[in-house]
Structure 1
């Protein structure tokens, strides 16, 4: 195979993905294994495959979360017997049967934090019985396990051999956001979302838990918030639920980033001005921006003192009506997340020295345009009107990342449950589009070479 095909750097659109999956016999004759998302470097000079032992094992260091992932992938590898639509044309090696995968971790204590090393090196020899997976951290090993699982197919199981993979992400933040304030999703739906994210090597679940629409988070210290603010007693997240989601995320290499809006995304300045205390403050020549600065001054130092980086939506600096002075948000402790005005706000943020997470509504808000905000109009099905993200538009936004914006740390896509008029399962947050296929597009968008 031509080296450029092996090490190719193309970002696939939905159309090209369809061609790869449903192509004619010409592609069937090619020795191609489509790994997803595409690793940085794949070396497979000869199209070889080896039988995988039915007693195949994975040996790894003991780790609270990696050990769970090893068990999960071992079960998948031994029981799935995946039959790809395009079966790789390979030469089966004689005699060798892969008996085990040996996992080696350099830093077993590294926590799952922003910027953690997720690199790995996977080697499956053409002879011998052992494959090897070497990673800097447990989280990189999880990415390598996903890759290995995609190299196994058939019944009896075969695995590609004579292959090496070196992989590491371009962006340390590769996220998906789910809004459970506007539309409640049960815990099982959220876990399925996180599982699908892990399969696409996405690593941040941005959990937009609360907003002005509802407050489904049950806080033992303030139980009235959920009692009065949730859609109902069966639409609340208990501390046990939160713990389960966070633990499940760690077992899948996905960090849970909670968002609790204060006071809420759609609280208009007029609502603030209706409060008697704020009225008094404004009557003394105060401003709403000064009130926001008071809030930041009371919370920002506390968060930083906990050795945390604060993430704000871009509005805190870029809003035309209520915003704070830039001096209150030192760039070394602040990340700003963009959602408005396409790449322009991202450019404004990074030009000011801030790191940015891209969540542009024009590109990364998936399936917008349905529900009570705009209406269930079929013209939005094609993603060509309104605040609408599609697979193609999501991929087209990668030019921002390649345009010299070194301070862009990644992106977060949003299945637009905020635009849904009814509660639905996680597969269908709006009438038009399933979320899970878009996770593949998001994964590709955040891993360009």
Structure 2
């Protein structure tokens, strides 16, 4: 029996494909999958000569050696050096291995999504999926693992017949990666140890993302996160079909990124020895992300948010660590900004970029130069400027940004900046520059009105750090007026709020193409490895569906939270099964009993 996916969903099954596909039909036949099921795949020029991949032992992991991963195939060991991004074939190879791991080792029993009297499918007289055929229909474009937005087709088609034949086709290797993620979401673990099954056959899916840039921004400077923490976050982002991981790697509080040409930066700027990212770590992270179709975008924020540089180069920083009235000069302590008219700063940045950008280029087409929250008062303490007058500062900032972006372009990369450089400083930016918005929908509209490509991320919806209360201590003299000590972006942005945000709401139809997508942001003043997972997930999943599937359904209506809740609850279970400490959406009673937890529901 074929069922067109209709909502509200059946109470007996969440039918959780997350993000929701563009087109999805399913049946109600149970099929099983075995560890011996073979995966056969072919590239655009290999049709008729399918490569067979049975249940081989293929392990992807990093070692402590420089730029090295050991890949294991049976008893063979081969070394892969991380000097360049993976090929499409390598990405598919890894995606097949990962799909098997997810289905057979990182799966869950879906008891929370059925009534109490639910009986699992019988393990007798099983019909098994015989073969999973994977086919790339076109040759991959150059730079498949490090694309500019819009240069890679991520669409895919998935068909599962009632007889057990599976076909996943796509126009690129990345599309295959996305399709294999969806394939894993069709299956559940059997509590009796009977393997994995899907109750949804036959299945027909066609899927394509609405937005080209779908990302998570992780701040690893306010708090330090281990490589495993970052990799786990990349894993979760990839499983939500996100394709960008924004690494905000330095800030005022610490400089954890090792720069071989300037070793003193991390030696003195890190919180302590060992809380750094070595060149090997950095290369491995970039490769790790790209293997999953996720492009890691590095940000060195400047000229503000650079106080940690003063610990090794005090001559470069103005208004450093001013106390007690620091809030006159910066958004948060310690204050400090790169001097705006200093040849020493120019020389320093040249040396920094000459070291770092060539190590970014193999894995990304972008480099983020920051530019947010630059306080003009800081330049009263800048001996190369001695002024806070916009008429004096603006041309100096223009020169500063022009110089930086010329270096970024010369390295073969495309610059990204925060919105203030365009809207507050009124700089003239190159037509190639992507402008990241965070303050308002009005700001996003202003960016595209100026003809720039933009990234959405309104802090009122997609700042995942909000609502934790003040991390600043409140002096008794102002304690009463600060009560109840909320942070600037309170309250906590729950998943429903994040899901309700439409990045295109303020943008005219003829400028929609300029909104490349957006990012959810995890600033780390009050987040560390202990609460990282639950701070991002599954709220980040809500953002992921908006960016993949769009904020509107096929009828142009806001997507239903009633539909989304059980699917997101199931996605949460899948993330937990994969080792992600995501928060729950609802208690089991709600997901087991269907409509009983609706407020204002009218049948």
TM interval, shorter chain, is 0.7 to 0.9
3-state SS of paired residue (2:170): strand
Q: Secondary structure at the match of 1:434?
A: helix
Cα pair 1:59 1:102 within 8 Å, conserved? yes
Higher alpha-carbon deviation: 296-305 or 217-226: 296-305
Residues 284 and 162 from structure 1, CA distance in 2 versus in 1: closer, same or farther, beyond 3 angstroms?
closer
Q: Which runs of 5+ in 1 are unaligned?
A: 11-19, 21-25
Instruction: Give the match's secondary structure for 1:58.
Output: strand
Partner of 2:451: 353
Residue 6, structure 1, aligned to residue 10, structure 2? no
Give SS of 1:60's match: strand
Residues 359 and 412 in structure 1, CA contact (< 8 A), matched pair in contact too: yes
Asked if residue 199 in structure 1 is aligned to residue 239 in structure 2, the reply is: yes
* 1:7–1:42 CA contact under 8 A, matched in 2: no
Q: Equivalent residues in 2 for 1:46-445 (5 A)?
A: 46-61=27-42, 63-80=89-106, 82-84=108-110, 85-86=112-113, 96-110=127-141, 111-112=144-145, 113=147, 114-115=149-150, 116-127=152-163, 129-153=164-188, 154=190, 155-159=194-198, 160-265=200-305, 266=330, 267=337, 268-279=375-386, 287-319=392-424, 323-325=425-427, 328-331=428-431, 333-340=432-439, 342-370=440-468, 373=471, 386=490, 388-398=492-502, 400-401=504-505, 404=509, 405-406=511-512, 407-417=514-524, 419-420=525-526, 424-425=528-529, 427-428=531-532, 434-445=535-546
TM-superposed deviation, 1:244: 1.4
CA gap of 1:224–1:286, structure 2 versus 1, over 3 A, is farther
In 1: Cα distance, 2:506 partner to 2:170 partner:
27
Answer whether contact 1:56 1:78 (CA < 8 A) is retained: no
Shift of 1:354: 1.4
Would you say the 8 A contact 2:237–2:243 is kept in 1? yes
Is this contact kept in 2: 1:196–1:439, CA < 8 A?
Answer: no
Tell me the CA shift for residue 269 of structure 1: 2.8
Matched-pair contact (CA < 8 Å) for 2:216–2:521:
yes
| Distance change (3 Å), C-alpha of 1:125 and 1:223 | same
- How far off is 1:264 after superposition? 2.6
CA contact (8 A) 2:154 2:178 kept: yes
Q: Tell me by how many angstroms 1:387 deviates.
A: 7.0
Q: Normalising by structure 1, report the TM-score.
A: 0.82
TM-aligned CA distance change 1:158 to 1:293, over 3 Å: same
Evaluate the alpha carbon distance shift between residue 195 and residue 375 of structure 1 in structure 2; reply closer, same or farther with a 3 A threshold: farther
Closer, same or farther: CA 378–140 of 1 in aligned 2, 3 Å: farther
Q: CA RMSD in A?
A: 3.2
Alignment deviations for residues 33-70 of structure 1 (CA, whole Å, 9 cap, x no partner): 221111110122x3222222341122235712221221
SS in 2 for 1:189: helix
| Matched-pair contact (CA < 8 Å) for 1:172–1:409 | yes
Inter-partner Cα distance in structure 1 for 2:288 and 2:218: 16
Shift of 1:344: 1.0
Q: Is the 2:104–2:195 contact (alpha carbons within 8 Å) kept by the matching residues of 1? A: no
Number of paired residues?
A: 413
Alpha-carbon spacing, 1:242–1:371, altered in 2? closer, same or farther (3 Å): farther
For the residues of structure 1 that align with 2:538 and 2:269, how far apart are their CA atoms? 33
TM-score normalised by the chain length of structure 2: 0.62
- Per the alignment, residue 13 of structure 1 pairs with none
Give every structure 1 segment of 4 or more consecutive aligned residues whose post-TM-superposition deviation is greater than 4 Å.
Answer: 87-96, 282-286, 371-381
Query: Is contact 1:357-1:408 (8 Å) kept?
Result: yes
**Any gaps of 5 or more consecutive residues in structure 2?**
43-87, 306-329, 331-336, 338-374, 475-481, 554-603
